[in-house]
Structure 1
């Protein structure tokens, strides 16, 4: 796990020292992602510099140093991530005549690229990654991200035409020719979703490479400076889901249970390989409990497990996590936060997340990562289970409401449906009218994940841009309505919220987080299952819970799903009130020119007067305001 960055000028660079200095400067901004080693590689005649910050996980020796040059000298790679099946690939490549100096997965990936090319090497790999691969022979730069979007990668052009890329925006901002301007369309997305989905970023002219995507750039493309950039997909989630649904699962429930157990055991075992201490995040929910249980079943000593609890009972799962840990006999560590620790983190969120991010579970996630990093360097998580196995209650509610809408007379719908604007968030008749006005299942899904329903009315100069929740082409063309709901979250919410949150919080403290449920084989297996194996008799995540019952008693398996958030509403009326008031000062908002101060102040005053649900609207605004101070 590491951080990468680089720059490619459209003209040769006269000074090798200056190019080296640029690479070091870009790398230093993301040194928290890889504090163990730093490397810079340049090719002055091409105007190219690659930078790498290393968190040593496999092969702690200098043989794992990056950027790394292939044995034949043609390829140079800066790689962030892990290739879990590197042993299998190493054996195959050795049989083809490749020799290896060390035992890092980076060296295996580089040999695979030299042997088969970038796309074919990615398709053979099983892992999480963001990479930059430079083909010295063809003078072509390749950028790629893993299948589901575990590792981030930003890219764009500076005003002088230089192409920039990096694991975080801060690396790009280190380039002196970049003049960052806020993208109002992206700011509107932040207020709607709590995050900014790919391909957008908060800065004009800077993009995120989408999950499963590949970008090929030659000298002409770099010289075109922000021209149309042809992103292709080496793994397309919608197409793979459609294929899995069409193929289906050929077996009964017991066969599916056996298959899931085997896949997860292998996925977990692959992710337990490390030359550094290893542990697990354990919330006590189905997914983290299942991952921890399978880890413990394959470990000769107690697994290190970690959980966090709050003094606010609504947000505290620590007692259940402790009960699971006792049954599994893990070496469990729990942090019980009184709220002060999370409050102390609030001013640090903008720099930790590098780009505005407003899912309030960022706070307990950051605390959990800090706790785990005191003991381990790698932690396995249960991320992905909800989006694959029908784990959210909002899925069932959306399907029920969609069925009701289809049965209602059109004349009644026309009379009752309406646009209550932001008050749809407050529940009651306003929420019902908004649901009736949704029009279809995709509209219902969009409404249920939206904070601000009409953020373009509060962000000055913003226009609405499409996300998976708006774009009809994001919906799978096969399968059920339930499959469609999960597909939308897999395309947007999972990579852009859940995985972004874990990446930033873990890498801020140089902790590597691995997610066995997002092994591509588990993903495609889940897509092949009928809905009866995901929801049955009102039980969500039916098959994973049946599997978990092999490891835990039913009393620890069957329990209501809890959220993993923070009591933001209480804080904004209490200890964070003065901080929020300063961020939302009307004069400041007017001078900065990004947000409508009248609308923002009206919601802030309503919230302070007792309208509790406005805190979800306000948190996004506050996270943007705090981030803006970093510019």
Structure 2
């Protein structure tokens, strides 16, 4: 993986363009510590920057920005295309300069066109392509949004980059987008296409943006997830368990195999859960040597997955490395978290992901992860809960809401104690989420109830802006909505920023688009069966490890937020909550935040996740020039 950035616009002198590219690439140097390359044509007003993390073809033949052999095309590319061999095979007789996937992608575009190349591109990528003949810039983001790409229109042009920090290095800092802020407060992340800044957008997954200097940007999809899932015909559905298992195993095994292509050491994130264990097992089967695996331990048993990972690693025969992170070490990372993410990000699992990435990077340059398994194979508790609630549909809504209210009033400390006795962390939060879902009658309503945090602070934005594909079962609709929004804007954002902060490339086999299609061909009962989530993956895994090693309540990559905020993090949180000008800076009434804080400290409610979300907002705003008053102001031009 790498970092990309660039500028298109008229009237900028060569020296000024060079300074801009240097500033942008310096802001994302952590993404690519192996090389820093620039290419510019000041007459055309175009400049491309690239910071390289060398993975395939470590020689200068893989350096970027790269110019095609014909001289027409220039690319700055972040990611990996694992189908590079197939792209090369489609160009017999071509004189190749090296063996990088960058060159395979670029020369395929030059010879066969962008559309044909993207149709055959299997991978995770974001890239900028300059057509020197047509003087047109094209930005592309992969199908599922694994790699990031931000952009902002300027007077007669455009700026783009892998991370917000690179954009901010080249332009005055915009105002906060009030609708993005509202979405963040409800979701804990800013959903695409918005960013926290007015006028700055994320290119959505599967989209292509084209622009010529002086013209407007034009966005079209090359991959539409909803259309892809809606296009699965009845004749393609798989209901037979044996056929389903064979299909998923073949697709996933191939996805893992091609993601082992690397000229540098690689390993696996291993939590000991179903997804990471299956990916690691398939890696081990495809590898001639023991796979390197990595996990983070926690001294508190209810939050510790390392003991499970250790047992799985021993069974699979991996070369396993784990690091037990004490509370003091983890807490020391908290104040600087938002510097990694660039915009407010409320998923507390970003902290252990950052520590895990640092551990892995000390030994390897590439790691495979199990991300995506929950969305594809119905692994989240909310899917299981909604499926069960659907069976009590005839119960009046008022009665469901009353039951939810009763659950909400249960003392969280009592629920958490009971959960810890059963070896389950965060039981209080889970019960409250279930309570919120009790009154929902549709998948959309259930999903919103499960994920919404601060209703009282933020008006309801269009959280479900990407409609669920037609023709899916209710749980399948929830999965598709998560796959379109929560996965790229929370989970994949978390993994990309945390890993690239340490120059570690993370590959996600579950999100091979062919695996995605295969997963949605399965009958619903092959995912949720007898109250068990990810049923088909469990069947595959039982051939490889004893069931007892992975059969346990879903835990997630959790940290004890609720306990930290009442303990060692309390002075930091108290000061941040008190010193932040919530109304002046964000247009927020401070009363609900203060009430939640006091109720949390008194043990009347578990507001750990909600408080973490506003604390991360305040911590982000404390960064150098990060926050400003909420107002939708026009973006200033910085040409020259």
Q: Tell me if both proteins adopt one fold, taking TM over 0.5 as the criterion.
A: yes
Q: Look up the match of 1:85.
A: 83
Mapping of residues 200-219 of structure 1, within 5 Å: 200-219=194-213
Mapping of residues 430-449 of structure 1, within 5 Å: 435=437, 438-449=440-451
Q: Look up the match of 2:527.
A: 534
Deviation at 1:217, TM superposition (A): 1.2
1-structure distance, mates of 2:372, 2:586: 38
1:287–1:29 Cα change, 3 Å: same
Mapping of residues 413-424 of structure 1, within 5 Å: none
Deviation at 1:49, TM superposition (A): 0.9
1:498–1:68 Cα change, 3 Å: same
Q: Look up the match of 1:8.
A: 8
Mapping of residues 460-499 of structure 1, within 5 Å: 464-468=460-464, 471=465, 474-499=467-492
Q: Look up the match of 1:369.
A: 357
Contact 1:129 1:150 in 2 (8 A): yes
Contact 2:436 2:450 in 1 (8 A): no
1:250–1:540 Cα change, 3 Å: closer
**2:170 corresponds to 1:175:** yes
Q: Which has the higher contact order (CA 8 A, sep 6+)?
A: 2
1-structure distance, mates of 2:500, 2:534: 29
**2:300 corresponds to 1:312:** yes
Q: Look up the match of 2:310.
A: 322
Q: Tell me, what secondary structure is at the counterpart of 1:613?
A: coil
Contact 2:376 2:520 in 1 (8 A): yes
Contact 1:186 1:200 in 2 (8 A): yes
505, 513, 524: which one aligns with 1:520: 513
100, 108, 118: which one aligns with 2:104: 108
Deviation at 1:7, TM superposition (A): 1.1
Deviation at 1:271, TM superposition (A): 0.6
Q: Tell me, what secondary structure is at the counterpart of 1:112?
A: helix
1-structure distance, mates of 2:169, 2:432: 46
Q: Look up the match of 1:618.
A: 611
Deviation at 1:310, TM superposition (A): 1.0
Contact 1:586 1:601 in 2 (8 A): no
Q: Deviations over 1:351-387 (max 9, x none)?
A: 1111111111111111110100000000000111111
Mapping of residues 174-323 of structure 1, within 5 Å: 174-176=169-171, 178-222=172-216, 229-244=217-232, 246-249=234-237, 252-323=240-311
Contact 2:434 2:450 in 1 (8 A): no
Q: Look up the match of 1:117.
A: 113
Q: Look up the match of 2:637.
A: none
Under a length normalisation based on structure 1, what TM-score does the superposition of the two structures give? Answer: 0.91
Q: Look up the match of 1:459.
A: none
1:433–1:389 Cα change, 3 Å: closer
Deviation at 1:349, TM superposition (A): 0.4
Contact 1:467 1:492 in 2 (8 A): no
1:433–1:285 Cα change, 3 Å: closer
Deviation at 1:54, TM superposition (A): 0.4
Deviation at 1:116, TM superposition (A): 2.4
Q: Look up the match of 1:148.
A: 144
Q: Tell me, what secondary structure is at the counterpart of 2:89?
A: helix
Deviation at 1:183, TM superposition (A): 1.3
Contact 2:57 2:99 in 1 (8 A): yes
Structure 1 residues 549-558 or 274-283, which shifts more?
549-558
Mapping of residues 395-410 of structure 1, within 5 Å: 395-404=383-392, 406-409=393-396
Q: Tell me, what secondary structure is at the counterpart of 1:134?
A: strand
1:134–1:557 Cα change, 3 Å: same
Deviation at 1:602, TM superposition (A): 2.0
354, 377, 382: which one aligns with 1:389: 377
Query: How well do the aligned residues superpose, as a CA RMSD in angstroms?
Result: 2.4
Q: Tell me, what secondary structure is at the counterpart of 1:81?
A: strand
Contact 1:352 1:508 in 2 (8 A): yes
Q: Deviations over 1:7-66 (max 9, x none)?
A: 111x243x2122112111101100000010011111111211111110000000011111
Structure 1 residues 607-616 or 483-492, which shifts more?
607-616
Contact 1:185 1:464 in 2 (8 A): no
**2:576 corresponds to 1:576:** no
Deviation at 1:147, TM superposition (A): 0.8
1-structure distance, mates of 2:579, 2:379: 41
43, 57, 70: which one aligns with 1:45: 43
2-structure distance, mates of 1:354, 1:508: 11
Count of aligned pairs between the two proteins? 607
Deviation at 1:433, TM superposition (A): 8.0
Deviation at 1:592, TM superposition (A): 2.8
Q: Look up the match of 2:22.
A: 24
2-structure distance, mates of 1:298, 1:429: 41
Deviation at 1:581, TM superposition (A): 1.4
Contact 1:417 1:434 in 2 (8 A): no
